[in-house]
Structure 1
Amino acid sequence: MVEHVAGKTCVPLNPQRLVVLGVPTMANALALEVKPVGTTLYFDNIPPYLEGKLDGIKTVGTNQQPNLEKILTLTPDLIITLNDWGASYNQLSQIAPTVVDDWQGYPSWKEHFNFVAEVLGQTEAAKQIWANYEQRIQKLRAALGDQYREIEVSYMYLCCGGISIDLKNSFSGMILDEVGLSRPPTQDLENDSGLVILSEELLTDIDGDVIFISVDEDNDSENMLKQLKQKPLWNKLKAVQQGRVYTVNLQTWRGGNPLAAYAVIDDLFKYLVANQDS
């Protein structure tokens, strides 16, 4: 019996036909070596950290519009969803036992992983995954040494026609903080969503000694980046002047799960640690 935001549900001890509505949930299950039979997706191109891992998993729509008919055809024995995303608990629970996590956005990614581990009966495996995560964090901290103590690292992404920066309590922000990397003052703070959307006039708010930047898959975001690079403010950024702007995968840096976290740490090794084999 599992308590969740929509009530209490009796779930199978070893689910064989798991359906998840949400990429973080899916990746959490994969990290725990439980492969879903169905999932919703919000991207067209599979991010590098999930390549080869989604074979055999059916897509059952998007987070906003899960396809109940497709879910039904998969005959799930358990459904995990987030805060009633796109489909009501009542509808889903008529198909299979359903649990709903109180997802509070990417600031709650660690809590969500632990919730999925509890639902799947994989709490011991989860402890090992957190131990592996901490080992990777400490390895990177040691490799960085003191050279990055005074350096500010910024992360921005272009999506949906806007410029966003992830704050200290975002997914990437938590990783950067645990590694011991400083953030620019405008990013060294928290809010409920873990992010701030900027106008082009506030481009200097993304400034740092190092900038990691992600671009969404759509052409508008690619064009927006090209336009930004032609702005006088862009060339005034410290990281631009020093040639320390690095492009990273958006779905990875906003993945909200341990598999994505491992990949973010690998990126930090790649771009910040000279001659270091991650």
Structure 2
Amino acid sequence: MPNQPQRVITLSVPSLGDAIALGVKPIATIVYFDEPPPYLVEHLDSIQILGKEEQPSLEKIVALKPDLIIGIQYSTEPIYSQLAQIAPTVADDWEGYPSWRSHFDFVADALGKTDLAQEVWSRYDQRIESLKTALGKSQQNLEVSFVHTCCGTIDLDLSNSFNGSILADAGLRRPPAQAVPIDGGIVKLSEERLMDIDGDVLFVATDGFEAAETIAELKQNPLWQQLRAVQNDRVYSVNYPTWRGGNPLAADGVIDDLFKYLVKDAQPA
């Protein structure tokens, strides 16, 4: 592995965000989204896109002459031998978004940036403490729900998910059905169990036009009007790839939203 890699390619969005948070701008990446999330917009202008999801262009990777390729095991395994012939390739044993913290440390180690990683975590901890102080005891008693839809399903991120762990760090409670850990940190929601998203505050994220239609249909369910957040006008739309970003840059975006919607007249720290 190169000591100070200069031409890094990332083959997952969490790896991309991790590298940027560590001061390393990859030369190319794959993406999962059509529209870049706000936290990545300013960084993507000079990064080449190799494809979407798990279909990177090997021809483009060869032409770019990387000195390090970083990915996650389940998506790189089918082409690992080909990637390894192009450049040193490391793939983390990603276990879903509950492993976002360990994946960041994995990327930091691969890039030789472990000292800087400690600074990134320190800044995250400082922001969480600022949020907790701004929330105060009364707001920390809020029950915060999060539902998202993509690819034809309606899903809940649980307590050990990416955003779930941030909410937990901030001391915010979750509805009982969301306050549990599960492998992968995500569970599908059936319309019959709509009350599982009941809470004082409801954050909703949609990925694409069809997903927005799915939520619109969900709102026609008679149970929707029984939700406390609906009755109290505390349903907020948030950016899907940010709240499911799985890296410190996305975590900043989630914390910004929590300041914006939960802390009255407070500016994000």
With the length of structure 1 as denominator, give the TM-score of the two structures. 0.94
Q: For residue 149 of structure 1, report the CA deviation from its aligned partner.
A: 3.5
Aligned equivalents of 1:156, 1:196: Cα separation in 2: 10
| Other-structure match for 1:46 | 36
Determine if the alignment matches structure 1 residue 225 to structure 2 residue 221: no
* Paired residues for 1:116-135 under 5 Å: 116-135=107-126
| Aligned amino acid, residue 105 of structure 1 | G
| Other-structure match for 2:16 | 26
| Other-structure match for 2:144 | 153
Aligned partner of 2:202 among 185, 198, 211: 211
Query: 1:161-209 CA deviation, whole Å, 9 max, x = no partner?
Result: 1110100000000000000000000000011110110111111111101
Aligned partner of 1:104 among 95, 108, 124: 95
RMSD of aligned alpha carbons:
0.9
| Aligned amino acid, residue 167 of structure 2 | L
1:180 is paired with a residue of what secondary structure?
coil
| Other-structure match for 2:25 | 35
| Other-structure match for 1:5 | none
Aligned partner of 2:252 among 244, 247, 262: 262
1:163 is paired with a residue of what secondary structure?
strand
Aligned equivalents of 1:256, 1:103: Cα separation in 2: 11
Q: For residue 122 of structure 1, report the CA deviation from its aligned partner.
A: 0.4
Determine if the alignment matches structure 1 residue 271 to structure 2 residue 230: no
Q: For residue 16 of structure 1, report the CA deviation from its aligned partner.
A: 1.2
| Other-structure match for 1:8 | none
Aligned equivalents of 1:84, 1:107: Cα separation in 2: 15
Percent identical across equivalent pairs?
54
1:40 is paired with a residue of what secondary structure?
strand
1:60 is paired with a residue of what secondary structure?
strand
Determine if the alignment matches structure 1 residue 176 to structure 2 residue 151: no
Q: For residue 148 of structure 1, report the CA deviation from its aligned partner.
A: 2.1
Aligned equivalents of 1:17, 1:64: Cα separation in 2: 20
Number of equivalences: 267
Query: 1:218-238 CA deviation, whole Å, 9 max, x = no partner?
Result: x21111111111211111111
Determine if the alignment matches structure 1 residue 95 to structure 2 residue 86: yes
Query: 1:135-167 CA deviation, whole Å, 9 max, x = no partner?
Result: 000000000011124321001101111110100
Aligned equivalents of 1:59, 1:74: Cα separation in 2: 12
Q: What 5-or-longer segments of structure 1 have no aligned partner?
A: 1-10
Aligned partner of 1:246 among 236, 243, 264: 236
Q: For residue 84 of structure 1, report the CA deviation from its aligned partner.
A: 4.3
Aligned equivalents of 1:176, 1:192: Cα separation in 2: 18
2:31 is paired with a residue of what secondary structure?
coil
Moved more, 32-41 or 220-229: 220-229
Determine if the alignment matches structure 1 residue 197 to structure 2 residue 188: yes
| Aligned amino acid, residue 37 of structure 2 | P
Moved more, 172-181 or 227-236: 227-236
Determine if the alignment matches structure 1 residue 72 to structure 2 residue 86: no
Divergent runs of 4+, >2 A: none
Aligned equivalents of 2:7, 2:142: Cα separation in 1: 47
Aligned equivalents of 1:246, 1:131: Cα separation in 2: 29
